[in-house]
Amino acid sequence: MVIAKIAPSLLSSDFARLAEECERMLSLGADYLHMDVMDGHFVPNLTLGAPIIKCLRPHTKGFLDCHLMVSNPEQWVDDFASAGADLFCFHIEATKDASALIDDIHAKGMKAGMAIKPDTPVDVVYEFAEKLDQVLVMTVEPGFGGQSFMPACMDKVRELRKRYPNLDIEVDGGLDPENIEVAAKAGANVIVAGSSIFKAKSPEAVISLFRKTVNDAQPSA
């Protein structure tokens, strides 16, 4: 049985106050701090990288869930491990040897996650699932915040949950109080949300709602 883990996306935070924003989210009940790493090549946007993670690490004990939307993720494993990342999530579409990459991530002391884009079939994950700590099913096209949730992606979540009942399954993109139940019932337990948390009148209430909805959707023991 899995439990809810709520991961505010710091892409929606005030970057000028990043450390404060991280601590604020943790104080409001967040479990993970989701860090969107974009290289301007794999996706058409450019955000933070390992140097910022390294600067942030001394200021927070939060779990840094780093989602690398980058080409050639292999080249960044050492840098993110040294920077203090807790989880290194790469895109299957960006690597030629996912198994070796997972092994390298683990060898460097990080948890390993694999992400798939909306058009990527879920069966590409199966070969590696037993080695992974988390699978991220993108519910928007990676690269920009503020996009609309794609409910068709929930078929992938349902299939993953059926096959791997104890796997952490993360969803990222357009999650809000209106669609969280759809994601939770499909089997997602790690919820990434940016705008719907940071722009809410009460971010704490949204985090609490997400957690309750996910935990309520879990099968009874």
Which residues participate in catalysis according to the annotation? Answer: 36, 172
Greatest C-alpha distance within the chain: 45
CA dihedral for 144, 193, 85, 115, sign (positive or negative): negative
Annotate 18-82 with DSSP letters as a single string: HHHHHHHHHHTT-SEEEEEEEBSSSSS-B---HHHHHHHGGG--SEEEEEEE-SSGGGGHHHHHH
Written as six digits, the tokens of 60 are: 């927070």
Whole-angstrom distance, CA of residue 182 vs CA of residue 153: 11
Query: Facing residues of 37 across strands?
Result: 68
Annotate 94-111 with DSSP letters as a single string: G-S-HHHHHHHHHHTT-E
